[in-house]
Amino acid sequence: MTKSPVEILNNPFENKGTAFTEKERQSLGLVGLLPPYVQTLDDQAKQTYAQLQTKTSDLEKRIFLMEIFNENRVLFYKLFSQHVVEFMPIVYDPTIADTIENYSDLFIQSQNAVFLSIDDPDSMKASLKNAADGRDIRLIVVTDAEGILGIGDWGTNGVDISVGKLMVYTAAAGIDPSQVMPVVLDVGTNNQDLLKNPMYLGNRHERITGDRYYKFVDQFVNTAEDLFPKLYLHFEDFGRDNAANILNKYKDQITTFNDDIQGTGIIVLAGILGALNISKQKMTDQVYLSYGAGTAGAGITKRIYDEFLQQGLSAEEAKKHFYMVDKQGLLFDDDQTLTPEQKPFARSRSEFANADELTTLEAAVKAIHPTILVGTSTQPGTFTEAVVKEMAAHTERPIIFPLSNPTKLAEAKAEDLIKWSDGKALVATGIPAADVDYNGVTYQIGQANNALVYPGLGLGVIASTAKVLNDEMISQAAHSLGGIVDGNKPGAAVLPPVSKLDQFSFTVAKAVAQSAVDQKLNQEPISDVDQAINDVKWEPKY
Ligand SMILES: NC(=O)c1ccc[n+]([C@@H]2O[C@H](COP(=O)([O-])OP(=O)(O)OC[C@H]3O[C@@H](n4cnc5c(N)ncnc54)[C@H](O)[C@@H]3O)[C@@H](O)[C@H]2O)c1
Ligand SMILES: O=C(O)C[C@H](O)C(=O)O
Ligand SMILES: [Mn+2]
C-alpha cells in the first residue's frame, strides 16, 4: 500500500522535509506541502544546529533535538554524528535522567516505542507487530525500569532509557534506526511520587513480582524472538533481584545482552587495562574493591575476576584479590542477605582481627589496601578525601572509578580524586568529565560508561549473525579497546575519548564479530568480517 503524502511527511524514517527534491515532490504528491526552496541535508543540519544554540539549558536542548528525532531520523543522526561529544550528555546520560523523571509531564509522542502492560498480556504480539509496521527489527532495548541508572524505579517513564540507548547505538556504531525498537515492560511501579502524580502515564499499581512477573518477561522474550528471528535483545536497567536471573536464563539460548552487567564489565576491564598500561603494573598484582555490589558492581567484579583466571591464576588464588562493600560494609560469607552474585566474593571474618568494625568504606580500605576501587553504589560523595588518601598511601597509582550515574550520584568528582591523590590516581567517571589541570599537568578523564562499548558490541554481534553472545566475545571486546590511548603521555586518559566513538566502535565490532566467526557461532556464512560489518552499517544520508 503506498503512503499518502501526509503519511510520508509524518513518517520519521521517510520524511526528508525541505530536502525532498523537485522530482520526489512531484512523484509523492508533496508539491505545495513544503516551502518551495529545496535544501541539502547539510543545509538542514546547519540550520537546525543554529536553532539548537538558542536553547539555554540541556533539558531544553534535548527536547528540541527530540523534535528533530520525531520528524526526521536522517537529519537527527546527521547532526548527532557531527557533534558527538557535545550531544552525548544531552541526548544520553546525564540529561536523560531528567527526561525520565519528567517523562509523563513532558510527553509529546511515543517515538516508535512499545509499551507492554502486564495487565494486558494478550495484546503483546499485536503491539510488537503494529509497532514494527513491517520493519525488519534486529535490535530491541527493553527495560522494566526498576533500576534506572542510579535513580531507581520510574515505571513507564523508563521507556526513555530504551529510546536513548538506541540513539547511541546508531550514532556510535551505525545501527540502522529503522531496524530498532525500544520497549518498556510496564509491570507497575513502587515509586509513590509517580503513583500520586495525576500526569503519570503508566499503570497505577505496585510492581507485580514473582511468577507472574517472570511469566510476563518470558512471554515477551518468546514473542519477540518469534516475530523477529534475527533479533539481538538488549536488557537495560532491570532491578537487582531480576537482572542477573534473566540474563542467566536466556544467555545460552538466544542472542542477548545485559548492558549493566556485561557492558559495564567490558568498559571497566578496558579502563583497568588502560590504567595498567599507564602505571606499567600487572593485573594479577592488583587488589580489587567493588563499592556497591549490585547489578553493575557484581557484573564488573566477575569480568575482572575472569580476566585474572585468563591471566593464569587459579580460582582460589584469584578470589584472594577481590572484596565487596555494600550497604552493610565489607561482605562476609556468614551474611544471609548476600545475592547469588555477591556470594563468590564474600570473605571469611577470620581473615580480619577487626572484622566487625569493617562496616564502612573507609574502614574496609584501611584493612584491605585495595589498588582498584570501583563505585557503583548510587551514594554520592562516598569516595572521600580520607578514603583516597588512605588508598594512595599504600599504592603508587590507585585506580579509582566513581561510576554511579547521573552526575548527582557520582561517588566523587574527577578533579577531587586527582587533587587528593596528588595527581597519582588513574581516574575514569561514568558521566563525561572535563580535563583537570593539576601541578602543570593536564589530566584527561576517560568515560567508563557502557555507552562506549555496547554500540560496537551490538554491531559486531548483528553483523556476525552470532547465535549467542558469549564470554569470549565479551573479553575480546574489552581487550580491543587497549592500545588506542598513548599511555606514555603525562595525564593520558585510561580510555579512548568519546570524540573517537565511531572509530573504536568499529574496532570493537571487528573483535566481537571475528571472535564469533572463530568460534563458529555465526548462523550465516561470513568470509570477510570487515565486509560483513560494513554491509550492515547505516549512514545518515538521503
Ligand atoms: N558507568 C556505567 O557504565 C554504569 C553502568 C551501570 C550502572 N552504573 C551506575 O551504577 C549505579 C548502580 O547501578 P546498578 O544497576 O548496579 O544498581 P543496583 O541497585 O543493582 O546496585 C546498587 C548497589 O549499591 C548498594 N548500595 C546502596 N547504598 C549503599 C551504601 N551506602 N554503601 C554501599 N553500597 C550501597 C545497593 O545495596 C546495591 O547492591 C547506578 O548509579 C548506575 O547509574 C554505571
Ligand atoms: O546509562 C548509563 O549512563 C550507564 C548505565 O547503563 C547506567 O545504568 O548508569
Ligand atoms: Mn543502565
CA of 148 to the centre of ligand 3 (A): 6
Dihedral in degrees, nearest 10, Cα atoms 126, 130, 132, 134: 110
Q: Which atom of ligand 1 is nearest to the CA of 149?
A: 43
Question: In degrees rounded to 5, what are phi and psi of residue 476?
Answer: -60, -40
Average pLDDT, the chain: 97
Which atom of ligand 1 is closest in space to residue 325's alpha carbon? Answer: 33
Write out the binding residues: 236-237, 260, 405, 449
91 CA to middle of ligand 2, Å? 13
User: Active-site residues: which are they?
Assistant: 92, 165
Q: What percent of the chain has pLDDT over 70?
A: 100
pTM: 0.98
Average pLDDT on 310-326 reads 98
> What is the arithmetic mean of pLDDT over 250-260?
98
pLDDT reported for residue 484: 78
Provide the CA 226 distance to its chain's centre, in angstroms: 26
pLDDT tops 90 at residue 471 = yes
CB burial of 243-260 (b: ≥16 within 10 Å; e: otherwise) equals: bbebbeebbeebbbbbbb
Q: What's the 289 CA to ligand 1 centre distance in angstroms?
A: 14
Tell whether the model's pLDDT for residue 448 goes beyond 70. Answer: yes
With a cut of 90, say whether residue 486 has pLDDT above it.
Answer: no
- Is ligand 2 within 6 A of the CB of residue 295? no
Cell of 248: 542467566
pLDDT band at 1 (very low <50, low <70, confident <90, very high): low
In this structure, the number of other CB atoms found within 10 A of the CB of residue 89 comes to 20
pLDDT of residue 274: 96
Phi, psi at 116, each rounded to 5°: -105, 120
* pLDDT tens, position by position, 294-306: 999 999 999 999 9
pLDDT (tens digit per residue) in 117-126? 999 999 999 9
For residue 236, the ligand closest to its alpha carbon is 3
